[in-house]
Amino acid sequence: MVSESGEQTEYAERRLASMNDTHPATVSRRFRIFALDPLVTNRVRRTGRDTFGDPVEVRQDNDPHQCRVCLELTEPNEPYLLFSHSPFQGLTPYSERGPLFIHQRDCLHYQDTSSLPPEFPRDIVLRGYDSADAIVAAELSDGDDLEALVERLLGFSRVSYIHARNRTYGCYMYRIEPDQRCDS
């Protein structure tokens, strides 16, 4: 866990409360999943350049790759694009850039925003950021606790959004925000 000192006590209390929670795991409807902005990916596909102006690589192999647009895996021998992207709005010490895959073809932007993408791994890293894009806390999910960890991080007062990243390679997968429709 990474945590700034001001939030450490609150976070520890939330963790303790959760550990004592005897409710069964359920599918959450309290957050929304955001794939890559279609404006970004349409431009990448159209121009062959990433947001930094660098060339996009076209690849093709038998391995399944995580498309950050439809949040599904590529099929064997299906062409895909590899490019660099920063999933942050502005430039801060936390605004990393890194490699991403998307289908080369125009695929459907992820639609079921209230559910975690079923084809993507569940044993992942969750990083919670504040509204200024500074990291507040992070968690490592074993898969079974993923929805609970998402809700816990979003319940943390300073966390505005979460980035989901691959557990070992660390690549950005998708963004998670609180579902404002559930605020009432």
Which residue lies nearer to Zn ion by CB, 103 or 152? 103
- The count of chain residues that interact with Zn ion, using the rule CB under 5 A, is 5
Which residue lies nearer to Zn ion by CB, 80 or 161? 80
Q: Which span sits near Zn ion by CB under 5 A: 26-34, 36-44, 107-115, 127-135?
A: 107-115
Q: Which span sits near Zn ion by CB under 5 A: 30-38, 39-47, 96-104, 111-119?
A: 96-104
Least distance between Zn ion and beta carbon 171 (Å)? 15
Binding map of Zn ion across residues 13-52, x = CB under 5 A, - = no contact: ----------------------------------------
Least distance between Zn ion and beta carbon 112 (Å)? 14
Task: Report the distance separating Cα 184 and Cα 181, nearest Å.
Answer: 7
Residue 69 sits in the site that holds Zn ion (CB under 5 A) = yes
Using CB under 5 A, which of 56, 107, 135, 171 touches Zn ion? 107
Sign of CA dihedral 128, 137, 68, 83: positive
Q: Which span sits near Zn ion by CB under 5 A: 20-28, 47-55, 105-113, 132-140?
A: 105-113
Show the 3-state SS of the chain.
Answer: CCECHHHHHHHHHHHHHHHCCCCCCCCCCCEEEECCCHHHHHHHHHHCECCCCCECEEECCCCCCEECCCCCECCCCCCEEEEEECCCCCCCCCCCCEEEEEECCCCCCCCCCCCCCCCCCCCEEEEEECCCCCEEEEEECCCCCHHHHHHHHHCCCCCCEEEEEECCCCCEEEEEEECHHHCC
Q: Which span sits near Zn ion by CB under 5 A: 3-11, 51-59, 64-72, 92-100?
A: 64-72
Residue carrying the six token digits 């439809």: 70
Contact residues toward Zn ion (CB under 5 A) are: 67, 69-70, 103, 107
